[in-house]
């Protein structure tokens, strides 16, 4: 009993001596974290003990994760403190793991030992198998000896092969488990085996401890937005919900930390393919010896962008500065290496639904929601799940900036269009007028097979002459509600099961000797 008591006292003394030998470092939990997509800004508050070095030098040491950016480190003392920070320095040290990470390391080490043991056993079996394989070449004096040798070889080979086949799947399982543990360890530590020891030199009144507030930027943390947009045409609104998936791999768990996410303003939208412009122009004349040059000029002319803004104005583009806003999530517990989903927002957006058809590209119609919001939104690019009345359409990228948005919810197979060419007279040349003429007449049929009324938007290319000698005459029934140099747009209200038609007639006149390129719609 006396020996046991002496051993306990000796162990306690050793532990106390070990604690005194440790550096006076302050470990603390973050108080507030602002997560960016691939990093985080961390604010910590710590009551750190002041250590005196030499005669007048007083220092405080704090420890930061190994993936902290030390160039971003800042620290300050309370305004009423009678101390000030004179200097800051840092160095890398071997990290002191938390219990969770230490257990993962022990688990990884144990699995690797088991793997080595299995590998050794398998190699020993392979050596024994090789030995008995060589015995098949041994010479025997009698048939009895040969039978005995054959039986021994068969018995041993069967046993060793059975043991090897049994061990190999176990080895695969261990390798898989080692990979899983290593991935979990990497997520928890950010693949860093070291930490940062930051030393702050203080001056001022004598004190035993100081309340430090310091901040830094750290990698291995982040968040990504996850959206859901569900169109409800009957109710004339779109339900928008927004979640944030957050994670951190600093090597220490975050408990009761104020977490914010910083959002970037988006610059992209979702839209169907643009209509190709319908350009009618004279072909360049190919002179003798200039064929290749003329062909090159013609190819460049076809590929060149539209030259005159009044003929086909470019789509306006909005340029935004890279500012961000912050969403405050509140206090959360986020263990190292884990991912969590937190709800950011859910809103109902008033929406005007139409079906957009571009018959010259195909018979499909796109469900189009035009959204007007009361206030400006800053929704960063992310993955969104799109749905219509509960039916999942799929995932696409989504972003929104401002008060207005056009959102497409895929193809509606119950609303279709067909194009029928009624007549075409091409290449007619009049002798007296010294002119050539072309005429086209076609009909576009719009079918609404739904059991509810819809509004269809039909867009078709507007022919664009590239020479003032080319004269175009267009007739439409009904007339488009909007005309631009490149696009004609009709807005058509259709009842359930209703079919409507659009008629278009185009007449072209040009000089008799002009070699015309009639464009893609000839």
Strand boundaries in 116-220, DSSP class E = 194-204, 209-218
| Cis peptide bond prior to 478, omega within 30° of 0 | yes
Q: What is the pLDDT of residue 351?
A: 95
Cα gap 181→115, rounded to integer Å: 14
* Strands in 293-338 per DSSP E: 324-334
Would the CA dihedral through 159, 164, 167, 168 be positive or negative? Answer: negative
What pLDDT score was predicted for residue 151? Answer: 81
What is the rounded CA–CA span in Å between residue 108 and residue 432? 95
Taking the C-alpha atoms of residue 241 and residue 384, their distance in angstroms, rounded to an integer, is 9
Look up residue 276 and give its DSSP letter: P
Q: Report yes or no: 275 and 459 within 8 Å, Cβ to Cβ.
A: yes
What confidence score (pLDDT) does residue 95 get? 63
Cα separation, 506 vs 343, whole angstroms: 55
pLDDT for position 433:
64
Comparing CA positions, the residue from 305, 290, 250 lying closest to residue 101 is 250
d(C-alpha 268, C-alpha 303), whole Å? 25
The DSSP code for 403 is E
For residue 516, the cross-strand partners are: 282
Q: Is 315 helix (H, G, I), strand (E, B) or coil?
A: coil
Q: Summarize pLDDT for 475-501 with one digit per residue, the tens.
A: 999 999 999 999 999 999 999 999 999
- pLDDT for 110: 82
Contact between 199 and 60 under an 8 Å Cβ cutoff? The reply is yes
User: What does the alpha-carbon distance between residue 30 and residue 70 come to, in Å, rounded to a whole number?
Assistant: 16
- The pLDDT of residue 380 is 86
CB distance 224 to 381 below 8 Å = no
Handedness of CA 457, 458, 461, 463 (dihedral sign): negative
CA dist 298 to 50, 79, 289, 308, 469, Å?
80, 74, 16, 18, 19
User: Which residues partner with 458 through β-bridges?
Assistant: 357, 490
Q: How many CA atoms lie within 13 A of 96 on its CB side?
A: 10
pLDDT at res. 41: 92
Distance CA 90, CA 84 (A): 18
Helix boundaries (H) for 351-422: none
Rounded Cα distance, 391 and 229, in Å? 11
Cβ within 8 Å of residue 513, ≥6 positions away: none
CA 261 from chain centre, in angstroms, equals: 16
Which helix (H) or strand (E) segment holds residue 520: the answer is none
Which of helix, strand or coil describes residue 307? coil
Query: Which residues, listed in sequence order, are joined to residue 282 by a DSSP beta bridge?
Result: 516
Output the DSSP codes for 3-64.
Answer: HHHHHHHHHHHHHHHHHHHS--EE---EEEEEEETTEEEEEEEEEEE-EEETTTEEEEEEEE
Query: What is the distance between the alpha carbons of residues 343 and 228, in angstroms, rounded to a whole number?
Result: 12
Q: In what order do the strands lie in the sheet with 324-334?
A: 68-76, 209-218, 39-49, 30-36, 254-264, 324-334
Tell me how far apart the alpha carbons of residues 267 and 490 are, in angstroms, rounded to a whole number: 29
Q: Report the Cα–Cα distance between both ends of the chain, in Å, rounded.
A: 107
For the sheet with 499-511, list strands across it: 415-430, 435-448, 499-511, 471-477
The Cβ of residue 22 has, within 10 Å, a number of other Cβ atoms equal to: 8
Q: 414-517: which CATH architecture?
A: Sandwich (2.60)
pLDDT at 3: 54
CA–CA separation, 261 vs 401, rounded Å?
A: 17
Instruction: Provide block-wise average pLDDT over 10 residues at a time, the chain (522 residues).
Output: 49 42 53 90 90 79 88 90 89 71 76 83 84 78 77 82 84 81 65 80 85 91 93 94 90 86 57 78 57 42 35 31 70 87 92 95 94 89 92 91 92 94 73 78 95 95 91 94 94 96 94 87 70
Asked if residue 481 lies in contact with residue 490, where contact means CB atoms within 8 angstroms, the answer is yes
């Amino acid at each position: 009993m006396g020996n046991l008591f002496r051993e306990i006292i000796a162990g306690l003394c050793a532990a106390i001596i070990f604690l005194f030998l440790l550096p006076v470092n302050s470990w603390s939990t973050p108080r507030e974290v602002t997560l960016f997509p691939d990093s985080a800004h961390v604010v910590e508050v710590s009551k750190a003990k002041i250590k005196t070095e030499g005669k007048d030098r007083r220092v405080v040491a704090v420890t930061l994760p190994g993936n902290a950016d030390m160039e971003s480190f800042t620290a300050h003392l309370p305004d009423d403190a009678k101390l000030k920070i004179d200097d800051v320095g840092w160095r890398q040290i071997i990290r002191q793991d938390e219990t969770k990470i230490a257990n993962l390391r022990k688990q990884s080490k144990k699995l690797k030992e088991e793997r080595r043991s299995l590998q050794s056993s398998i190699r020993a079996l392979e050596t024994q198998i090789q030995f008995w394989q060589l015995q098949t070449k041994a010479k025997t004096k009698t048939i009895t000896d040969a039978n005995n040798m054959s039986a021994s070889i068969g018995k041993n080979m069967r046993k060793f092969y059975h043991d090897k086949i049994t061990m190999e799947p176990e080895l695969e399982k261990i390798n898989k488990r080692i990979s899983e543990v290593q991935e979990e360890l990497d997520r928890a530590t950010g693949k860093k085996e070291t930490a940062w020891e930051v030393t702050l030199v203080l001056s001022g009144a004598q004190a035993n401890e100081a309340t430090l507030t310091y901040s830094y930027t750290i990698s291995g943390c982040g968040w990504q937005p996850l959206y859901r947009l569900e169109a409800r045409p009957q109710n004339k609104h779109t339900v928008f919900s927004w979640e944030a998936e957050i994670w951190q791999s600093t090597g220490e768990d975050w408990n009761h930390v104020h977490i914010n996410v910083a959002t970037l303003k988006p610059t992209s939208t979702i839209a169907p393919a643009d209509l190709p412009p319908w350009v009618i122009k004279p072909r360049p004349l190919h002179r003798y010896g200039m064929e290749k040059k003329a062909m090159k000029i013609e190819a460049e002319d076809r590929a060149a962008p539209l030259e005159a803004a009044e003929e086909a104005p470019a789509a306006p583009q909005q340029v935004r500065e890279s500012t961000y806003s912050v969403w405050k999530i509140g206090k959360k517990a986020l263990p190292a290496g884990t991912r969590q989903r937190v709800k950011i927002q859910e809103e109902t957006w008033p929406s005007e639904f139409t079906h957009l058809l571009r018959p010259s590209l195909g018979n499909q119609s796109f469900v189009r929601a035009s959204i007007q919001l009361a206030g400006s939104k800053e929704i960063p690019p992310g993955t969104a799940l799109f749905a219509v009345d509960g039916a999942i359409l799929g995932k696409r990228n989504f972003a929104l900036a401002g008060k207005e948005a056009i959102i497409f919810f895929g193809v509606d197979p119950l609303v279709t269009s067909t194009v029928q060419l009624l007549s075409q007279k091409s290449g007619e040349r009049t002798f007296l007028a010294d002119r050539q003429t072309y005429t086209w007449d076609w009909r576009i049929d719009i079918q609404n097979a739904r059991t509810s009324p819809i509004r269809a938007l039909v867009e078709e290319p507007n022919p664009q002459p590239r020479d003032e000698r080319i004269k175009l005459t267009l007739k439409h029934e009904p007339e488009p509600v909007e005309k631009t140099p490149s696009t004609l747009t009709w807005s058509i209200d259709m009842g359930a099961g209703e079919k409507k038609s659009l008629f278009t007639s185009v007449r072209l006149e040009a000089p008799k000797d002009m070699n015309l390129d009639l464009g893609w719609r000839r």
